[in-house]
Structure 1
């Protein structure tokens, strides 16, 4: 399959306006924009034919030109990143598989993308996304965000076949009391990375937003509400993973970049 990574990036955001251009410092203290760090993370993925930033803002487009990233403008009425991917897919009919690489996730390891792409060796998989079992530390961060009224990471629950049952910005499944440090944490952090076959994107673009998507603000729920299955790819990682959901996440990401020695 011919594969493209699409990085959706919009300037407007209720929680973090201008987020793609936000400066993120690396190990040497040098700041690079979030979109540059994310683009560099996507470019590190092997076996991909093209990486494109999809944006609706001239400022982001100009930043992409400055760093040498391929970019294209998408309509301002695209409601989410998946709709931006669908728009890009229409303009590149020679590609079969599209990977939605979240513009706020510069810590995404290439291995996550490789595992996601491998899932499409199953001909019955049309949409896939990774799920990372939470460490006790990650679970604590998720719960702290909710306790303090912040919308942080997303969690997912799935069936015995690995197909998603539900995604939420709440921490699911509910876990009472203090977790047992000797037991596996039953909560999976949904890594905001998606793979789609072309046909799945075409269907998505012609489907209206449902109630669950509207309430949760999670674009992938449109697939579930429309009866489309999403395969959750369980991934293992010793590397810290976190998205830039709020300005307070900047320090977390900068600490990880410094620990990894990323300039």
Structure 2
């Protein structure tokens, strides 16, 4: 077993959706819980993990997270993305782990087995320093992608990878392009990138020293910094088991997610 911890980066000052971690989602039983609390509860359900922490630079998120029982690691306001926040939090933690998981605070619908599959893959691929799950799009998710792009909304992220499952590219556009006249099920070749990462500690701590390239700047995707600096990311296909996966990127996603909680 790999000694693993989960970090949940939560940023209040989001450019596209300020205060997003504290947005409330109503569940099947009618109970409303914030995005960060639902994400923490999902992370705590992952087996084989020794510790789960919320990491933030905001006192409101810290106070709220501690109120529902989470351990919190504070970071500076200078972190540009979740990976940088996880790197600083891990350094501040002062503990040693074999693997650090970045569990996005805006994805409370992430099943525990997505993380467990990621940890298992890292245990068998000693040549890989970073891994992330990818999910083959079903018709509903693909329709959400297409709708968001038509309405000029930034939605989920898609992933393209090689035959050995190493990442080639990630994009906010729907890639690869699929011609419906040539492909019977055009969405079957599109993979939804699940915003979740597992890092070897050395790769995570080295991330803030890497050069930020033009692709990361254009797409606004933190994982592209690894690719632009010739670091390998392993894409791990996961099975939804009939459950819809979606992140909260825009206000419209609240309704989408509540319908499936």
TM-score, with length taken from structure 1: 0.95
Partner residue of 1:129 out of 117, 129, 132: 132
SS at match of 1:4: strand
Cα displacement (A) at 1:119: 1.1
State the distance in 2 between where 1:61 and 1:224 align: 32
SS at match of 1:185: helix
SS at match of 1:89: helix
Q: Which runs of 4+ in 1 moved over 2 A?
A: 176-181
User: What is the aligned partner in structure 2 of residue 261 from structure 1?
Assistant: none
Q: Is the 8 A contact 1:134 1:189 kept in 2?
A: yes
User: What is the aligned partner in structure 1 of residue 250 from structure 2?
Assistant: 246
User: What is the aligned partner in structure 2 of residue 142 from structure 1?
Assistant: 145
Cα displacement (A) at 1:176: 2.6
Q: Is the 8 A contact 1:89 1:95 kept in 2?
A: no
1:211 aligns with 2:214: yes
Structural RMSD (CA): 1.2
Cα displacement (A) at 1:180: 2.2
User: What is the aligned partner in structure 2 of residue 198 from structure 1?
Assistant: 201
State the distance in 1 between where 2:95 and 2:215 align: 31
CA distance 1:184–1:16, shift in 2 (3 Å): closer
User: What is the aligned partner in structure 2 of residue 48 from structure 1?
Assistant: 49
Cα displacement (A) at 1:207: 1.2
Question: Residues 7-156 of structure 1: matches in 2 within 5 Å?
Answer: 7-91=8-92, 92-121=94-123, 122-156=125-159
List per-residue Cα deviations over 1:87-112 (Å, max 9, x = no partner): 12213341121000000000000000
SS at match of 1:100: strand
Number of aligned residue pairs: 256
State the distance in 2 between where 1:85 and 1:220 align: 13
State the distance in 2 between where 1:226 and 1:99 align: 21
Mark the runs of 5 or more structure 2 residues left unpaired by the alignment: none
Mark the runs of 5 or more structure 1 residues left unpaired by the alignment: 258-263
